[in-house]
Structure 1
Amino acid sequence: AATTADTDQVRQLEHYANCIGLAFQVQDDILDVEGDTETLGKTQGKDQANGKPTYPSLIGLKGAKELAQSLRQDALDSLVELDERADPLRWLADYIVNRDA
């Protein structure tokens, strides 16, 4: 049977995953606006040209960047009680919102 600590850790990791998954999508939308076609590996502006709703189109580029950073921080906060074994997850959170492709 799972202990309370195990249940708490699972809840924290699920929250991390939800935050970081959304942060990935927000950053992807930002890169569609700002990214270089060669670096992205897809045509820059393709989502907007296809009329796809994106975070920058809904809340502006500045708002999308703030949202990505907020989600990153929320993801990191969910790991605060976990030890150094969660460091790869911390690195991943930083990478996702600072990536350029």
Structure 2
Amino acid sequence: MAIIKPFITSARFNSTIGLGTGTGATFAIAATAFNTDAGTAATAFPSTFAYYNLYVNGVLQPGNTSTITTTAITIPDGDAENGGTPVCVEFVIN
């Protein structure tokens, strides 16, 4: 039987595509370009988490469309989107 951790929380970060850099496969948005749910500037993404969800323009994206580190999220070909398109990254942390 699996051990279930007794604590689960989430953290959400919001930004726009226009704050990303790079093109094609190297397009990324820095963690510092995001705001937290509290409206403060983010300094980094969580270093440990169970999983994360990426929403582009409010639409949940498939799991293989991005990679993430504590400093940035890479969204290949994200630069093809309109600069004002909202991006939300939600981490489920346990």
Taking structure 2 as the reference length, the TM-score comes to 0.28
Structure number with higher strand proportion? 2
Structure with the bigger percentage of helix: 1
Between 1 and 2, higher relative CO (CA 8 Å, sep ≥ 6) is seen in: 2
Flag the structure with larger Rg: 1
